[in-house]
Amino acid sequence: MAAGIGMDAALEIADRVERFVRDIVIPYESDRRRDDHDAPTDELVQELRGLAREAGVLTPHILPDGRHLNQRETAVVLTRSGLSPLGMLACNTQAPDEGNMYLLGKVGSPELKERFLKQLVSGESRSAFFMTEPAADGGAGSDPMMMQTTCQRDGNHWVINGRKAFITGAKGAKVGIVMAKDEQGGACMFLVDLPDPAIRIERVPNTIDSSMPGGHSTIAIENLRVPADQMLGEPGEGFKYAQVRLSPARLSHCMRWLGGCIRAQEIATEYACKRMAFGKHLIEHEGVGFMLAENMIDLKQAELMIDWCAGVLDTGSLGTVESSMAKVAVSEALMRVADKCVQVMGGSGVTSDTIVEQMFREVRAFRIYDGPTEVHKWSLAKKIRRDWRTAQA
């Protein structure tokens, strides 16, 4: 059971995060310090983190004594940080770092925490999680059991070879968690310092989303030698550790993008209440007003779904089924919200003058990463069948 600090204390942190994001971060949304994929540069991120540090809201979900807020408390904090696509970067609550910090906090040895986790919590460094592999290689995507990357023991080191794809934030990251299969077919995880000449970025493809620094790289790993004491946890337990990380990280995406869509709804509402057409404000036309009303319903349902799943995780359960349900329900609901916000704003909604257009792109990508909607539905359907069979026995 995750005790946490109490919801009143968590809400106080969330209120401070929201004030910081609205007052300090949002004006930076027009800052053009962007890379060639339109993602914020590390220079911009570090400037924002300096401001968050001054405001006392850097890495707000992890307390100074190292304790992590429980999942229900984390939800109210991360949602507020997501009110701007830059807010999660400024507050150090973004993917993949938030999930990597969670995993290291749960599984890492004291030595690994001191060497790798500390620099992530302080906001000094970014990290990357090397699991997904290129489809052309027959590698792991939504099915991690298809992993082709290998690790072999060589004295007091492990040697890793393989290719990875869609590795978020690898370009510019200082910490990597690399997943590979050993000779027995079990998965292992390793902590590595980045950059490393044995880990080569082949390309960074253009993608529909642009909120995450470093993009989503395709990686070649060639004879990467990692000291044995940099293995995370025990040999062959990598798939189990992946589940420790994936359910909370999946839900954290829901939290952050809920915040972004709340903001998109605010922007679309202001537009509809001010814009005149055919003799009255847009909000007074049922075709527009009803879209915003439907958004209100979807946003509340997403919030409640997140809170329900977070409560399950706080019992100590892996919450695999519940997080699949939440990921489907929330990503699909937020896609409807973002789409309607664009539609309400018409031509203005497809420009970069507001974050509405970006939120549409970000949430469209969210329906795929951390498991596409269809994969989660397939997994849930298998559970339905298993439960039915059990009931017949």
Q: Looking at residue 393, what is its pLDDT? A: 82
Q: Looking at residue 255, what is its pLDDT? A: 98
Residues 6 or more apart whose CB falls under 8 angstroms from that of 148 comprise 133, 137, 138, 139, 140, 162, 163, 181
pTM: 0.95
Identity at 387, one-letter amino acid code: D
Q: At 159, is the secondary structure helix, strand, or coil?
A: strand
Residue 334 · residue 363 · CB < 8 Å: yes
Q: What's the full length of the chain, in residues?
A: 393
Residue 149 · residue 139 · CB < 8 Å: yes
Residue 10 · residue 80 · CB < 8 Å: no
pLDDT along the chain (393 residues), means of 10: 87 98 98 94 97 98 93 98 98 96 94 97 97 88 86 96 97 97 92 97 96 96 97 91 89 98 98 97 97 98 98 94 97 98 98 97 96 95 96 90
Q: Looking at residue 289, what is its pLDDT? A: 98
**Both ends of the chain: CA-CA distance in Å?**
32
Distance, in Å, from the CA atom of 175 to the CA atom of 169, rounded to the nearest integer, reads 10
Q: Closest Cα partner for 177 from 169, 154, 273? A: 169
Q: CA angle, corner 172, sides to 373 and 127, nearest 5? A: 55
Residue listed under structure tokens 């709340």: 262
Residue 148 · residue 185 · CB < 8 Å: no
Q: CA angle, corner 99, sides to 171 and 124, nearest 5? A: 55
Residue listed under structure tokens 């190292």: 66
Q: Looking at residue 1, what is its pLDDT? A: 61
Q: Looking at residue 363, what is its pLDDT? A: 98
Residue listed under structure tokens 């204390």: 9
Domains observed in the chain: 7-94 (no CATH), 128-234 (2.40.110.10), 239-388 (1.20.140.10)
Distance, in Å, from the CA atom of 84 to the CA atom of 119, rounded to the nearest integer, reads 24
